[in-house]
Structure 1
Amino acid sequence: MTTTLITGANKGLGFETARRLVAAGHTVFMGSRDPERGRHAAQELGARAVVIDVTDDASVAAAAKTVEAGGGLDVLINNAGVEGRGEGNSVIGAADVTGDMMRELFETNVFGVVRVTHAFLPLLQKSAAPVVVNLSSGLASLARITEPATPSHAYPGVAYPASKTAVNMITVQYAKAFPGIRINAVEPGYTATDLNGNTGTQTVEQGAEIIVRMARIGRDGPTGGFFDATGPVPW
């Protein structure tokens, strides 16, 4: 039996990923900051709820103990993230972004990934086929965002793309450090979720496809890569 933890799983891509993995036979811990919402979501899918705030060391440590008591961990999906939009759901561009805004967003998107991964590494290293999936974005691709012909080029925000580019580097460095763990970053695509005010152009079912696929790779699967539903994404 494969045991999986998904952060930020009570809605959106995390919820759909949990639904698909439960259906595939995984024991799924659905991580959520809000205990009540997390419990309700887990009950709906037949999963297990665990309270985890990726910005809080004590919360992450407590979640690790809960998962350990539940039998250990095989797959970690670092899904929790924020985009940090402004008034009227507008993207905050270069003229208005501040250091404090960047710090707040990086606390979840970047430091949260490191905090959670660090806490769960001891459990993953005990698994026969450990996997880590980090949620990235097409906006993290320097190749795409600097190419005028791509949709990414038009995105005016600074903080979110920078945070996801950092996630890509974290993914590569962890994959090099832990060759026994399959560690990859994924780009789910522009999916309609609360993160972007439901402005995305595809469904959560479509967006979760690459997350689920990479969560289920075997010991001989790729590691240190960046993938979307069609294959490798340029860095």
Structure 2
Amino acid sequence: MTQDQWTTVDRYFTELLAPTDDALAATLADSTAAGLPEIAVAPNQGKLLNLLVAMAGARSVLEIGTLGGYSTIWMARALPADGGRMVSLEYNPAHADVARANIARAGLDKIVEVRTGAALDSLPQLEAEGAGPFDFVFIDADKVNNPHYVEWALRLSRPGTVIVVDNVGRGGAVADAESTEPAITGTRAMFELISREPRLDATAFQTVGVKGYDGLLVARVVA
């Protein structure tokens, strides 16, 4: 299989099952125009997040890594209209401004709050405010800190909370025990932490598609 084939199949799936709309298309277009890196989740992956939030019956979502708000919109749309809430953490202030505009255009600014700053500073603030527990957590930020993000996801969760971590395959490099690349060592440390953590039941799988070759981890808090 080639990248062209993966992309063609992804487009087929997306056209039938996860078609875009004006708000989503404008989110991607405005993010690109603002110079944000084109690393948002693929449309069918956005739809997967939407479905996972809905299937979990989530009323509260925590996202670590907002970028332009594309994945944020997909997840927020699955929240109930009567009291659903979402907090998304973004390190880059310029990215956060783009995301807030995109979220507002999608009509979700009343239930989504984008906080700016290092997530490892914002997460303790959320805990101090009593913001948790969250029903669903999506982690898609700097990979070096993935172990710390998972630890904080646990602290801000409850039994039944679903935790999803993106980009865990690293093009296959995650299996390289000799790698010294920070994103690889951070991701491997996260896997090792989860494998030892009795409060988490998890699996991970490799993915191919318009975003290339990578992987996704899905975990459930069991205690």
Shift of 1:188: 5.9
Aligned to 2:121: 58
Aligned equivalent of 1:31, options 85, 89, 111: 89
Cα deviation digits, residues 44-67 of structure 1 (max 9, x gap)? 44141231534x64333224445x
Question: Which amino acid is the alignment partner of residue 78 of structure 1?
Answer: I
Cα RMSD after superposing both structures: 3.8
- 1:8/1:142 Cα in 2 relative to 1: closer, same or farther (>3 Å)? closer
Equivalent residue runs for 1:1-235 within 5 Å: 1-2=57-58, 3-11=60-68, 15-25=69-79, 27-33=85-91, 34=93, 36-45=97-106, 46=108, 47-54=111-118, 57-65=120-128, 68-69=130-131, 71-81=132-142, 109-111=143-145, 113-124=146-157, 127-142=158-173, 162-184=181-203, 189=208
Shift of 1:184: 5.0
CA distance in 2, matches of 1:115, 1:61: 12
Shift of 1:77: 1.6
CA distance in 1, matches of 2:67, 2:121: 20
CA distance in 1, matches of 2:169, 2:201: 21
- 1:166/1:135 Cα in 2 relative to 1: closer, same or farther (>3 Å)? farther
Q: Give the secondary structure class of the aligned counterpart of 1:141.
A: helix
Contact preservation (8 Å) 1:135, 1:185:
no
CA distance in 2, matches of 1:40, 1:166: 35
Shift of 1:133: 1.9
Contact preservation (8 Å) 1:4, 1:73:
yes
Contact preservation (8 Å) 2:174, 2:188:
no
Aligned to 1:91: none
Contact preservation (8 Å) 2:168, 2:174:
no
Contact preservation (8 Å) 1:138, 1:187:
yes
CA distance in 2, matches of 1:57, 1:20: 24
Structure 1: state its 5+ residue gaps. Answer: 82-108, 146-157, 192-199, 221-235
Contact preservation (8 Å) 1:32, 1:38:
no
Contact preservation (8 Å) 1:74, 1:131:
yes
CA distance in 2, matches of 1:186, 1:60: 27
Contact preservation (8 Å) 2:90, 2:116:
yes
Shift of 1:187: 5.6
CA distance in 2, matches of 1:44, 1:163: 36
- 1:188/1:60 Cα in 2 relative to 1: closer, same or farther (>3 Å)? farther
- 1:76/1:39 Cα in 2 relative to 1: closer, same or farther (>3 Å)? same
TM-score when normalising by structure 1: 0.48
TM-score when normalising by structure 2: 0.50
The alignment of Structure 1 onto Structure 2 pairs a total of residues equal to: 153
Contact preservation (8 Å) 1:22, 1:28:
yes
